[in-house]
Structure 1
Amino acid sequence: MAEKLILLEQANIFLGDANPEDSNHIKLSSVALPALERITASHLGGGAVAEVNWSMNAFRALEPSFKLAGYAKSSYQQIATGSMERYTIYGALRNKETGKVLQAKSVVRGIIGRLAPDAFDRASAFGHDHGVTEVTHYELHVDGEEWFYLDYFTSVVRQFGNDQTQAARVALGIE
């Protein structure tokens, strides 16, 4: 059976949870969820016919980004303090077969590590690119189902609710 075509049509980002007073849906120009990329180590055995990049069962730093139109005082406050914040990103997804609207929700815990204002051009909208670094927590839910969960401090990675890291935590004596 073919997988459903589900497209993102609209997005919003909140500092913290979904407080309607803190909505950025009007200012949000773009948002990029973090790339999920495994760390690998190259190995070429002495008698091997090919090199292999072995997965080290860890992910590269997760670094989502977003762009807000205009100026946002909160952005300058966050880059100045470097304090850990929670960002909640919502998306309106549409199942293209049924027309049903679904919710995507992503929760990120990190800091604004990059704030880059656009060059001014009277013919273009002015905004600020935001880069989130020091990400220690990331989760993605689609239509209420957990698709991905990673927490640095608890060493937990789950995919579709299945813990991928429990055996390693037991082996390390931390569970």
Structure 2
Amino acid sequence: MAPNFFLMEAANLFCGDHDPTASKHLTLSEMQLPSLTEIFQDHHPGGSLFQVEVSVGVEKLLPTFKLAGHDPGVLSLFGLGTKRRHTFTSYGVIRDKRTGQALEAKAIIEGRLGSIEPETFQRGEMQSHDYAINEVMHYEFWWAGKEKFYFDFWTSEWRVDGVSQNADENRILRIGSGV
């Protein structure tokens, strides 16, 4: 197959899916989906000449975003104001540069708004606020209507391209959908 090139052209964020007016398309200036970073530990057994790395899991997910101006509705979602997690849904327009087709990227994140960092106010410049979503217990990433990643802490489910990555482990441990 010929190489391809996909480019994100636009994005939107909903802070709280229960409110269809919670769209941030007019103030969203940055959206950083969580990095997927595997955790490795060094292991140098007594009977081996070489040290090796072994995978022991995945680092916590930490999505961030930036909104221009002030947003009192988002401020109310801050962790100290509520102990509940909220759903944040991000949509992106991805352009297939080879065909010109617009594709949807969608991320669904359940977590707590754990950080709000206002930029320094300077007269004549627009002040923005940086936000971080902590305590992510559920994360989904969809590409062109197909599930790419799915993580749910409560059911111990981790899927890539719709295929469970830990079904054997869940089945053996009698956890969630693996039973």
| TM-score where L is the length of structure 2 | 0.91
The alpha-carbon deviation at position 22 of structure 1 amounts to 1.6
- Residues 3, 54 of structure 1: CA spacing in aligned structure 2 closer, same or farther, 3 A cutoff? farther
In angstroms, what is the RMSD of aligned CA positions? 1.6
- Residues 106, 22 of structure 1: CA spacing in aligned structure 2 closer, same or farther, 3 A cutoff? same
Judge conservation of contact 1:18–1:88 (CA < 8 Å) in 2.
no
| TM-score where L is the length of structure 1 | 0.93
CA distance in structure 2 between the partners assigned to 1:36 and 1:114 by the alignment: 20
Q: Which residue type is aligned with residue 40 of structure 1?
A: F
46-55 or 5-14, which deviates more: 46-55
1:67 aligns with 2:88: no
1:42 aligns with 2:42: yes
The alpha-carbon deviation at position 36 of structure 1 amounts to 0.5
- Residues 78, 17 of structure 1: CA spacing in aligned structure 2 closer, same or farther, 3 A cutoff? closer
Q: Which residue type is aligned with residue 38 of structure 1?
A: E
Judge conservation of contact 2:40–2:53 (CA < 8 Å) in 1.
yes
Structure 2, unmatched stretches of 5+, are none
Matches for 1:79-98 after TM superposition, within 5 Å = 79=78, 80-98=81-99
- Residues 96, 27 of structure 1: CA spacing in aligned structure 2 closer, same or farther, 3 A cutoff? same
The alpha-carbon deviation at position 122 of structure 1 amounts to 2.8
CA distance in structure 1 between the partners assigned to 2:136 and 2:118 by the alignment: 22
Between the aligned residues of both structures, percent identity stands at 37
The alpha-carbon deviation at position 152 of structure 1 amounts to 0.6
* 1:81 aligned counterpart, secondary structure: coil
The alpha-carbon deviation at position 123 of structure 1 amounts to 4.6
Deviations 1:141-160 (CA, angstroms, capped at 9, x unpaired) = 01101111110100000000
- Residues 169, 101 of structure 1: CA spacing in aligned structure 2 closer, same or farther, 3 A cutoff? same
Matches for 1:22-41 after TM superposition, within 5 Å = 22-41=22-41
The count of residues paired between Structure 1 and Structure 2 equals 174
CA distance in structure 2 between the partners assigned to 1:113 and 1:17 by the alignment: 18
Q: Which residue type is aligned with residue 73 of structure 2?
A: S
Judge conservation of contact 2:15–2:74 (CA < 8 Å) in 1.
no
CA distance in structure 2 between the partners assigned to 1:48 and 1:123 by the alignment: 64
